[in-house]
Chain A
Amino acid sequence: MNKFGIILSHTYLSRVKAKSFLITTIITVLFIFLAGNMPSILSSFGGSGGEDAGQRVAVLDETGEVFPDLRNNVQNTGGNVTLQRYEGSEAEAKEEVRDGTFDGFLNITMPSGEPQAAYFSMQGNPSALSQSLQQALQPVKVNMAAADAGVDPAVVEQLTSPVVFETSALEQDQGAQSAEEQNSARGIVYVMLFLLYLSVIMYGNMIAMDVANEKSSRVMEILVSSVSPVTQMFAKIAGIALLGLTQFGIILAAGYVMLQTNQNQLTGGVFQYFGLQHAEAGTFIYAIIFFLLGYLLYATLSATIGSLVSRTEEVNQLMAPLIYLIMIAFFIAIFGLNSPDNMLVTVTSFIPFFTPMIMFLRVTMLEVPIWETALSFGLLIGTIILLAMAGARVYKGGVLLYGKSNSLKDVKKALQLSKKE
């Protein structure tokens, strides 16, 4: 195996075998299972306290005109709510709610020929139950008012049915996409933004820590004497990338298993929500390319930063500006999700540090001219090459640099150390 391979596999294996990797992966997987099963977990904790788990509401209807329609409406919504006509007094009903016989008590009065309701339960604030009761009561009231005014029920239905409203773009090449396409694009951009953001923060930090560790233990002096710094740096970056893929792979597999075993309304819902069903192959290819380039850019910077500090404690301090960069990119992208054609989004999509997120957003949500995409790619790749070259030199010089770090001055010193004078 060549030296690149040796360093790559050493970086990867020593990390994969570490306890911290195992623990963070297990915690993430547990979290996914927990989140996936949230509805069933919640329902097993919540409920009325009765074994039947249904909710019972006492209804005191002084005229008796409202109750039948109301019960129909409630039943039609399909909830697990039972309405019971209550014959006793208001005070007695409240007492029974306190006892726990009923979950709530609805008092319907007809002060001026129209129904009015008062809802009593042990919680004062609006609950899902009170809202569904209110929704069920609304059409009853409308129907009664209409009947009073002598309006045909068919007319009422016409009046209350929602308007048909569709949006669609006239011409694709105008830079617009249909609403459905945009929604699906938005989902992919979301996924991509989070993945890139997390990767840069997690794995970028890991790279910087790894380099700083080698430096503080002075093993670096031996490494640099046997392998060129460029090989070392990129082998490390690739090793950590592989580690990230492993971790994402495990998490995705866990998520898939969870969806499969959890055969309820959730299955497919996740994909639908993120619009992944409608995504085109081209989008995925863009996602992969932008992700890799973005990772490479930030990983190179991280390795350079790691080589500048002399103690691992100083890593976080120097990593902060880099994290600000990715955060700015992230927030501009989140903003851009709602207005991808904004000037700010257009301009920042050409700044290499922001390109992986923002240009991806534009490419996915708009029809971007090919030259713009090509230009941003060129700028991004050029920056990566420049940073890698500078990084390798700083890396070589930084290895021999000890003492309190003072970022910018150190870069200068490190560069001096690495060159002839």
Chain B
Amino acid sequence: MTLTLDHITKTFGDTTAVRDLSLEIPEGEIFGMLGANGAGKTTTFRMIIGLLEATEGEVYWNGGRMTYAGSGMIGYLPEERGLYPKLTVRDQLIYLGRLRGMKKADIVKELEGWLERFQVPDYIDQKVEELSKGNQQKIQFISAVIHQPKLLILDEPFSGLDPVNVELLKQAVLDVKKMGTSIVFSSHRMEHVEELCEHVCILQHGQPIVHGSLKEIKRSYGRKNLRIHADFDLGYLKEVEGVVTFADVPDGCVLQIDREETAEHIFQKLQGRGFVRRFELEEPSLNDIFIEKAGTSYE
């Protein structure tokens, strides 16, 4: 089951929210959608689930168009909490689950399992408005996955959670993926995306500026980071050929170099000057790539 976005564009009056976006999201993978606020992530998600209609282009799910008949295959976690504040967790999920085509008994069984897993089994008969924001987010997550969707869309799932809960939810996302669900996921936090996603797309002003598998992107980016910690002054390395940027850090420096051979070259240059405690060639971070491509810092 693959999700295909075929040259989609969405305009609101004079503004273009998404421009000519083509994506292929393979089955059973986690696809990361990155971009600053207003880059068009949420608009893209809304077009995928049919909340908005694309001005141009089509969204295909397994080769066909999405309809409400197939809504049981989709799970959606919106950016903002979308729950009935006055309903209890149980009633809430029974209602939302049934609308996704589940039976009541199955919903209760699944719900109890999920609450157990998130270590909040007592919340089942509490009203949602009585829960903390983080716990509401857990309920929201359960409502998105309880019907075991084939396609799960998570819009900023980790915002407002403490590190322990982020870990809990991250693990849950990975488990959902193991069941064969395709997941599209957006986040502000580059490290979450790097950790979870095989494929990413970076949107800027509604246009994809980087798109592909994470490994591929990093390899084709070419540049790597070189971290050196040494007892002597490293300032002279700025002048070495192939060094793109140079940044002082405590105990040493971080260099961005154009390719791996440059690292070998620098390694030789360090010989005989003193003790080198650390010499490490790092993969470029998504953040580096984003800064390079978008010309601005991400956060």
Contact = CB atoms under 8 A, between A and B. Distances in A.
A387 B292 CA distance: 52
A400 B46 contact: yes
B71 A420 contact: no
B99 A218 contact: no
Interface in B59-94: 68, 71-72, 74, 76, 78, 80-85, 87, 91
B71 A217 contact: no
B82 A226 contact: no
Interface in B246-296: none
Nearest to A224: B51
Contact of B68 (A10, A228, A400): A228
A218 B42 CA distance: 14
B143 to A, nearest CB: 7
B217 interface: no
A396 B84 CA distance: 19
B95 A6 contact: yes
A183 B201 CA distance: 75
Contact of B85 (A7, A217, A226, A419): A217
A292 interface: no
Nearest to A220: B82
A420 B54 contact: yes
Interface string A393-421: 00010011000000000000000111111
Contact of A226 (B12, B54, B71): B71
Given A416-B12, A420-B54, A421-B11, A225 B83 contact: no
A122 interface: no
Nearest to A232: B99
Given A222-B96, A225-B74, A226-B71, A217 B83 contact: yes
B154 interface: no
A219 interface: yes
A222 B82 contact: yes
B99 A420 contact: no
B99 A226 contact: yes
Q: Chain B: interface secondary structure?
A: loop
Q: Chain A: interface secondary structure?
A: helix
Nearest to B48: A225
A218 to B, nearest CB: 4
A225 B84 contact: no
B76 A214 contact: no
Nearest to A218: B82
A95 interface: no
Contacts of A220: 82
Given A217-B82, A219-B83, A420 B12 contact: no
B63 to A, nearest CB: 21
A221 interface: yes
Interface string A1-23: 10100110010001000000000
Contacts of B81: 217-218
Contacts of B83: 217, 219
A8 B190 CA distance: 43
B50 interface: yes
Given A222-B143, A225-B71, A420 B55 contact: yes
A285 B13 CA distance: 49
Contact of A219 (B12, B71, B82): B82
A399 B13 CA distance: 18
24 contacts: A3-B99, A7-B99, A14-B91, A217-B83, A219-B82, A220-B82, A221-B51, A221-B76, A221-B80, A225-B49, A225-B74, A225-B76, A226-B68, A226-B99, A227-B99, A228-B68, A396-B51, A399-B51, A400-B52, A417-B12, A417-B52, A418-B53, A419-B53, A421-B12
Interface of B: 11-13, 46, 49-55, 68, 71-72, 74, 76, 78, 80-85, 87, 91, 95-96, 98-100, 143
Q: Which 4 A-B pairs have the closest CB atoms?
A: A218-B82, A226-B71, A225-B49, A219-B82
Given A217-B81, A222-B82, A420-B54, 18 more contacts: A3-B99, A10-B95, A14-B91, A213-B84, A217-B82, A218-B81, A219-B84, A222-B96, A222-B143, A223-B99, A225-B71, A226-B72, A226-B99, A227-B68, A231-B68, A419-B53, A420-B55, A421-B55
Interface of A: 1, 3, 6-7, 10, 14, 213-214, 217-228, 231, 396, 399-400, 416-421
